[in-house]
Amino acid sequence: MRECGKCKSSEYTNKNLVMMVNECGHPLCRNCVDNLFARNAAPCHVCGKILRRNNFWEQVFDDPLIEKEAHIRRRLRKIYNLKKDDFPSLREFNDYLERFETIVCNLACGVDVEETEAEIAEFKEANQELIERNKKKLDEDQIWIMQNLKEDREMKNRVDYNDETRSAVRDTKAIMEELRESNVPAEVILDRERKRQIEQDLEEKEEAARRKKRNKEILQDRKRMAESMSFSTSQRSSGRTFVYKQPRLFINGPGLPTQEELESKGYLQHIYVDICNKINTGRIAGGFTTHTGCLRALFESRIDLLSF
């Protein structure tokens, strides 16, 4: 999440936060840039480097180091723009590319900045003619991109032209068929087709206007919703404090009856031990009652219900 290093405002507290970055790579929000650089020049709040307000740009990448490296590459591409044809061998061209990456790494990480800047100035002065000449030429990647864009435009134009041609031919055939087989005068048919074409054009224009108006209203509604949204805790309504209660899942069937319920609900009527107890109490083991045998039988019947 992006956060201003000066006022500590973030995207969580400010929905419309816009971060700005300068050549030093330390981001600031737009409000802090307007306040700190009201006189066009001021030191950086982190490194103390003198910066100009006109050199700030809107942050694109979340990582400031990547943003700084991208800015350095854009600046150096205007100087280190030599092509493969400008070198006598492939080895020298590869060394040139490797040195370019080393220079970018040094400037982005702050390693030997003064020596690196001196090397850049020396290279620019020594290859001024080649640099100016290559500025007017397109490299292989740019030529490839231009060719693909051109092919896409041509293909789209061909598809649109074919659709319009097929539609026009189909309409023309229908009109000619009607003129040949209908008893209606030709002037009436042609006037009707002209009116239909005019109405169709008007409907297309009205539909385009309605679509444009609808898109504009949607954008305005989204903007109003974004402005009305607030993430501050002061405007939140506080309700009753949440108290966690462990849920009771009745997956084990009904509960076991108590000893009193065993007697009151007739569980002991058909227990063999109870019958023997009435006849001869001497046959009962010590500590063993009829309730014990009944509860044991009920417990064993519920083993499959995970009652243990």
Does residue 152 have a pLDDT over 80? yes
Q: Residue 22 contacts by C-beta under 8 Å, 6 or more apart in sequence?
A: 44, 51, 52, 55, 56, 57
Model confidence at 144, in pLDDT bands (50, 70, 90)? Answer: confident
User: What mean pLDDT is predicted for residues 228-233?
Assistant: 44
Does residue 231 have a pLDDT over 50? no
User: What mean pLDDT is predicted for residues 250-265?
Assistant: 79
**Residue 271, helix vs strand vs coil:** coil
Give residue 65's pLDDT.
85
* Structural domain spans, the chain: 19-135, 138-182, 184-228, 259-305
C-alpha 5/C-alpha 260 separation (Å) is 73
If one compares 228 and 293, the residue with the highest pLDDT of the two is 293
